[in-house]
Structures are given as C-alpha cells and as structure tokens.
Structure 1
C-alpha cells in the first residue's frame, strides 16, 4: 500500500547507502557508483528517500530531468511541460517480492501532491519485463522506445506515460 512508506528529502547518509546497493545481473545495470558526482546528484533536491513505517531505507524516487535517460533526451522524446518524469529504485533484497505496486503508488501520490503534474512518464529498460508489467499495473502505457548508447553498450528503453490517475488515487476515491 502507498501508506506503508514515508518519502522525504534525500540526505547524504541515505545517498551513500543507495549508491552501494548491488543488484544481480541482468539488473546490475541499475548499480551506481559512490563517485562524488553521483552523490551530489542525489542531493540536488530531485531525489527523495523512501522509508518503511519502521524507518528503514527501502528505496528512492527522483523526479524531473534526472529521471530521463540521456539517449531519449538527445532524441527529443521527453516533451510536454506538464508531464513529470519519475525514476525509482527499490533496495535489491526487496525486489521481486510483490511490494512494487504499493511502492510505485507511493511515489506517484507523492509526485502528484508535490508537483501537481497532468501526468507521469517513466523510462524502463526493455529487457526489464518485471518492471514493465508493474508499471502497466500502475496505469502506465507504452508510448515509444529508443536505443541508448553508453560506451560500447547499446540498450533499448521504453517510455511509458500515465495520466496521473494511478490506481492508488482511484482506490482512495472509492473507499
């Protein structure tokens, strides 16, 4: 459930923990480095830590340009002033355990309350069928795809959008 999380501004201690998370292949593309620039980006005001109700760090969200993949930005695919890009990460030991939908809903509810966009957009690696399915359940639809080159590696990414009418918003209205 979306209410199972507390979302707050990222602090340096949380950022340092997150950059050291180690995802197993093929999800290792999401591993970060503790490079000072990566830490600084996480502290620029666009990243938010996600804590469990017990105060345990379980993930993060980022909003805006930092949630975009450079290859898509270079191709001019991120258009629309009132659409909010969202990026996210869940602690590796918590992934694949059925907690994703509530986690995503929490980030959407926070993004809606904080930024009031007309819709949300996210970008997912095409191989990540687990995330693609989750985002579809959360109300996102595929809009386009593109290739992103990073060094010698070229990878396909899918852009998905939602009107902002996530299921967590609908659930709150129905109750």
Structure 2
C-alpha cells in the first residue's frame, strides 16, 4: 500500500541529487532541465502541489498535481529509478490517481509523456488513459515530441 505525503525539502533534494535513470531515460533526471530543477528545489514554487509516495518508510516516487481548471488536474510523476521497468507502475499510478480523485475531485486527469517512453505509455493505457495529441516541447536542451493523454474520472 502506498501513502502520499507532502514533499519535504530534504526529500526534494534527495530526489534531485540522487535519482538517476539509465540510458534514454536519463532524460528524466532532474538536472536534465535546469528550470524544472530550480522549481523542484524551491519550496515556495512546489507549494502544496508536490507529494512523495511512501512505501513504509521509503520514498518510492512522487506526484505533482496542477489544477488546470474546475474539471481538470494535470499530473507529473516520477518513480525511483531502481523500481522502474519491473512491473510496479500500475499500482504506483493507481495510488496517485486515487489521491487526485479524492483530493481534487476532477472530471479528468491529464498528463504528458515523451513519446519515446513506451513503457510509461503502456502503463498509462493499462489504467485507462487515452491518447489525445502529440506536440513538440522545448526542454532538456532540445525539442522533443510529447504525447498528451487524458483519464476520465469515475468516483
């Protein structure tokens, strides 16, 4: 069972400094995008929107929740590198979706994912996200293709 708790400064610094992904997934390392890193490490900019996912005493991931409008929450997420690609994604994602539904009561949840990240897209589809559109975004020192996906909430 996973529990979401507001992210502390110490947890943000640990994630930013110590979570490093292999191969093309290094795209998701915090230091890959300096602007995102500054925001992630600034407690005022994180505000009340960033949560760690706990399994017992261990931080295994995080979620960012951004209210787009009355009906929509946009999420960002990250899982501890040594836990990715080993079949834990669905349970992890469902914990974040349940938290979002009960905390924010949205009609829909959206996210954006780099199109090369096939394993994440597979997890998102498995829990009910649907593809909306692709778009180009400048980030991490280049311009990359992303897929916007949406999940319709049912409480």
Question: 1:81 & 1:146 partners in 2: Cα distance?
Answer: 24
Q: By how many angstroms is 1:36 displaced?
A: 4.9
Aligned pairs for 1:100-119 within 5 A:
100-119=89-108
CA 1:18–1:117 in 2, change beyond 3 Å: closer, same or farther?
A: same
Residue-pair matches, total? 149
Q: By how many angstroms is 1:150 displaced?
A: 3.0
Q: What residue number does 2:118 align with?
A: 129
CA 1:151–1:121 in 2, change beyond 3 Å: closer, same or farther?
A: closer
Question: 1:111 & 1:161 partners in 2: Cα distance?
Answer: 13
Name the structure with the higher strand share.
2
CA 1:40–1:152 in 2, change beyond 3 Å: closer, same or farther?
A: closer
- Tell me if 1:142 matches 2:131: yes
Contact 2:39-2:46 at 8 Å conserved across structures: no
Q: Deviations over 1:72-119 (max 9, x none)?
A: xxxxxxx75411101110000000110000000000000011100001
Q: CA RMSD in A?
A: 2.0
TM-score between the two structures when normalised by the length of structure 2? 0.88
TM-score between the two structures when normalised by the length of structure 1? 0.79
Question: 1:151 & 1:47 partners in 2: Cα distance?
Answer: 21
Contact 2:7-2:50 at 8 Å conserved across structures: yes
CA 1:162–1:28 in 2, change beyond 3 Å: closer, same or farther?
A: same
3-state SS in 2 of match to 1:154: strand
Q: Which has the larger radius of gyration?
A: 1
